[in-house]
Amino acid sequence: MASSSGSKAEFIVGGKYKLVRKIGSGSFGDIYLAINITNGEVSRGGSARCWEFSAAVFSSWWNTGPHRAACARERVNVVFLCSQEVAVKLESQKARHPQLLYESKLYKILQGGVGIPHIRWYGQEKDYNVLVMDLLGPSLEDLFNFCSRRFTMKTVLMLADQMISRIEYVHTKNFIHRDIKPDNFLMGIGRHCNKCSDSAVGKRKRGVAVSSSQDPPFSGLNQLFLIDFGLAKKYRDNRTRQHIPYREDKNLTGTARYASINAHLGIEQSRRDDMESLGYVLMYFNRTSLPWQGLKAATKKQKYEKISEKKMSTPVEVLCKGFPAEFAMYLNYCRGLRFEEAPDYMYLRQLFRILFRTLNHQYDYTFDWTMLKQKAAQQGASSGGQGQQAQTPTGKQTDKSKPNMKGF
């Protein structure tokens, strides 16, 4: 595992990606921001649109001093940031349970799907397995914190629509994710829109109107990406469509907070479990926390047992009390699915789309953080942005040297 960002100052992977600094870490290793150094000098100029967008992303979202200064200094730096930055995952070749090669193969299978990061390169460099992929924006966990751990119903419903579609796509490729959580959903940064709007795809075919007006242009800024397939598993054969067998002797895989009840009980996971986990994520956003958070235990095993007990003893209606009935309907549906049964993804999307329309929301991709960023940008412009420390919506000072990118 990489020990520090400093030790990687001159580390170049794949012959062209130079590591800049560490932006995250996990059980597998570290994630670095890197720059493609083979594109030569960056010409001056660029569009005002690129300038404005980059300033918003790198100062308002990540609050990083160097990027902020670059944006304020000259356009050439902003265009450089827009076009050449990538994310690099490093995994020690001595890792006890290496997973990066497996993850890279799975990404290749998923390439081309809406909200799937583009893979640039995989290989070995020095003592590391290396995966180079598109640089994305903050995770939903980061944005939840940025919004003072409060999402409006409009934001939750717009996210739910895309999240269901991301999971459905992975399932169509014969894999289950097995670690659905806010940290593993990242927003794009404006240049990675690999398909058109989810809500627009096949809309005429389905006869579904998400809003009274036409959907706005779908940009990478609005697009949600699903990442981290290290725990993903093939649940059926590509050719025969034979489903994996039912078993009851499995250890818990994934994150206990969002794990399905069946996963806690040691039952082999299938498509239903990804969907149930998503239900807990949505209620986490609605409630700010889940009833089984913060439980104390002497060991990890005992903590998992307590989480399982609390989860099983909390009726769906209690979990979803005070929120639209559609959330309880969603969870009850997912818990009622059989092991091999294919979820009705369209039905689940429709639950939330109809609710969205009933609440008279406009599908304009204006998320809660969009409003906060605009407000912060306006305040920064009025104050001149001179000598001020970046702040979160709660007013707490943040470390500008480290972008909040955990879960990348």
Going by C-alpha positions, the residue among 243, 250, 281 that lies closest to residue 265 is 250
Same domain, yes or no: 148 and 20: no
3-state secondary structure of 19: strand
Same domain, yes or no: 145 and 190: yes
Spatial distance between the Cα atoms of 355 and 324, rounded to a whole number of angstroms: 8
**pLDDT (tens digit per residue) in 369-407:** 999 988 888 887 777 655 444 333 333 333 433 444 333
Residue-level pLDDT at 38:
87
Residue-level pLDDT at 336:
98
Among 339, 358, 377, the domain-final residue is 358
Provide the pLDDT confidence category of residue 28 given band limits of 50, 70 and 90.
Answer: confident
Range of the domain at 31: 6-135
Question: By percentage, how much of the chain surpasses pLDDT 90?
Answer: 66
Same domain, yes or no: 81 and 15: yes
Q: What average pLDDT score do residues 8-20 get?
A: 87
Ramachandran bin of 126, using left for φ above 0, alpha for ψ from -120 to 50, beta for the remaining angles: left
DSSP β-ladder status, 85-92 and 128-134: antiparallel
Question: By percentage, how much of the chain surpasses pLDDT 70?
Answer: 73
Same domain, yes or no: 118 and 148: no
Please count the structural domains in the chain: 2
Same domain, yes or no: 84 and 152: no
Q: 338, exposed or middle or buried, with CB in 10 Å at 0-12, 13-18, 19+?
A: exposed
Same domain, yes or no: 44 and 60: yes
CATH code, 58: 3.30.200.20
**pLDDT (tens digit per residue) in 68-115:** 444 444 443 443 344 489 999 999 999 988 999 999 999 999 999 999
Which two three-digit tokens encode residue 59? 């100062």
Among 90, 105, 135, the domain-final residue is 135
Which two three-digit tokens encode residue 405? 């990118």
CATH code, 225: 1.10.510.10
Among 83, 102, 135, the domain-final residue is 135
Known catalytic residues? 179
Q: What average pLDDT score do residues 189-218 get?
A: 47
Predicted TM-score (pTM) of the model is 0.80
Residue 124 scores a pLDDT above 90:
yes
Average predicted confidence (pLDDT) for the chain:
81
Residue 389 domain-assigned (yes or no):
no
* CA dihedral sign of residues 152, 155, 158, 163: negative
Same domain, yes or no: 248 and 163: yes
Provide the pLDDT confidence category of residue 7 given band limits of 50, 70 and 90.
Answer: low
Residue 334 domain-assigned (yes or no):
yes
